[in-house]
A = this chain, B = another copy of it.
Amino acid sequence: MKKQPFTTVGQTGRYRLLSQLNSKLRSSSTVFQHLVHGPGDDCAVLRMDGSSKFLLISSETYVEGADFDLVWHPLQHLGYKLVSAAVSDIYAMNGVPTSLTVNLAIPNKISVEMADTLYSGFIKAAEAYNVPVTGGDLTASSSGLVISITTIGEVEESSIVYRSGAGMNDAICVTGDLGAAYAGLKILLREKSMWQDTGGTQHFEPNLNDYEYVMRRQLVPQARNDLIETFSKLSMVPTSMIDISKNLLQDLMQLCTASGKGGRIYEAAIPVALETRAVADEFQDDVDQYALQGGEDYELLFTLPEKDVNRLVEHFKDFVVIGKIVPSNKGFSMQASSGDVLHFDTSQLE
């Protein structure tokens, strides 16, 4: 019997495998009558007959153990966080979410009361973002809890923003501050290991009061609908946008690569909260690594021509310029606070 080839996903890498599968989809002979923009952005984009708006579709699956840990993630917060992550993909295309569909695969260890609590989290976030949860499916899981969330959104054809539109010399901008969610994760992992050292009793009370900001960023992150609402009010459309769900470095390289450009950022300009810095100091870590590679910030990374930066800053305070778009042959680099220039390689895309 002929041996089948077996390449592990680790050997290929998640990013390359996804690209390969997406190419396969694009080369399929199906008539893509309604499809405006297929695989490879935060959302798929569909044209609706008779409507001036595009439909946005985003769908993600979260697996216990790989994507979340119920030991330290309260179920209500988990529900909230996953909805934030879901709507964030719609905002990243400059759209407005119109519906959420939630599927659960629940193992025996999850009670009816726990499912109810998780739903409370979905609903709380759905109310915050003003989008209905339209139901979904329940199925059994033989292992951990699996949660899939699909978000539908809409955007005027003239306002849609892709990853691929960054123009030469555009300012690279980011909302809020970065690395806080990762700082929160560091604290939670430390508390979890201390809890496990007590033998995993339920009576252990973690000391989390000193870390309220970073914990909140990790457990109940907010998606940046405020920026999208400002763009709409100002009739301003950024040239490109992506939400920082992986981390600044990965997501900026994705954006620049999709735009066929390079990027230059300044380490000193990357926004980091004092609370995040305090956690990094406590662990004797380099806080810039939290900001660059931490992940799960759900801030928006976008590019604007210089003139729009000045206009936006008058109406929206919570963003900074961290660099600018450069020709693709300049690659992707960061001027460190020391003055050294670090070059990054897009082969590091995960």
Max chain B C-beta neighbours (<10 A), residue from A22, A99, A130: A99
A7 to B116, CA, bound (A): 11
Does the CB pair A152–B55 fall under 8 Å? Answer: yes
Query: Is A39 engaged at the interface, CB distance under 8 Å to the other chain?
Result: yes
From B44, B103, B104, contact of A101 by CB (8 A): B44
A1-34 interface mask toward B, CB cutoff 8 Å, 1 = contact, 0 = none?
A: 1001111111110100110111011001111111
Nearest opposing residue in chain B for A141, CB measure: B63
Chain B nearest CB: distance from A119 CB in Å?
5
- What residues of chain B lie closer than 8 Å to A192, measured between beta carbons? none
Query: Is A329 engaged at the interface, CB distance under 8 Å to the other chain?
Result: no
Nearest opposing residue in chain B for A11, CB measure: B112
Does the CB pair B99–A35 fall under 8 Å? Answer: yes
Chain B nearest CB: distance from A24 CB in Å?
6
A29 to B120, CA, bound (A): 12
From B60, B111, B126, B135, contact of A9 by CB (8 A): B111
Query: Is A313 engaged at the interface, CB distance under 8 Å to the other chain?
Result: no
Max chain B C-beta neighbours (<10 A), residue from A46, A134, A203: A134
From B66, B103, B143, B203, contact of A59 by CB (8 A): B103
Contact status of A63 and B105, CB under 8 A, knowing A24-B116, A49-B53: yes
Query: Is A278 engaged at the interface, CB distance under 8 Å to the other chain?
Result: no
Determine the interface band of chain A, counting residues with CB < 8 A from chain B.
35 or more
A7 to B137, CA, bound (A): 19
Max chain B C-beta neighbours (<10 A), residue from A1, A24, A52: A24
Nearest opposing residue in chain B for A38, CB measure: B134
Q: Tell me the residues in window 77-104 of chain A with beta carbons closer than 8 Å to chain B beta carbons.
A: 98-99, 101, 103-104
Does the CB pair B148–A46 fall under 8 Å? Answer: no
- What residues of chain B lie closer than 8 Å to A61, measured between beta carbons? 61, 103-105, 137, 139, 146, 148
Nearest opposing residue in chain B for A131, CB measure: B30
- What residues of chain B lie closer than 8 Å to A8, measured between beta carbons? 108, 111-112
Chain B nearest CB: distance from A11 CB in Å?
8
Does the CB pair B24–A134 fall under 8 Å? Answer: no
Query: Is A176 engaged at the interface, CB distance under 8 Å to the other chain?
Result: no
From B38, B49, B130, contact of A132 by CB (8 A): B38
A residues bordering B, Cβ < 8 Å? 1, 4-12, 14, 17-18, 20-22, 24-25, 28-35, 38-40, 44, 46, 48-53, 55, 57-67, 98-99, 101, 103-106, 108, 110-113, 115-116, 119-120, 123, 126-127, 130-144, 146, 148, 150, 152, 154, 202-203
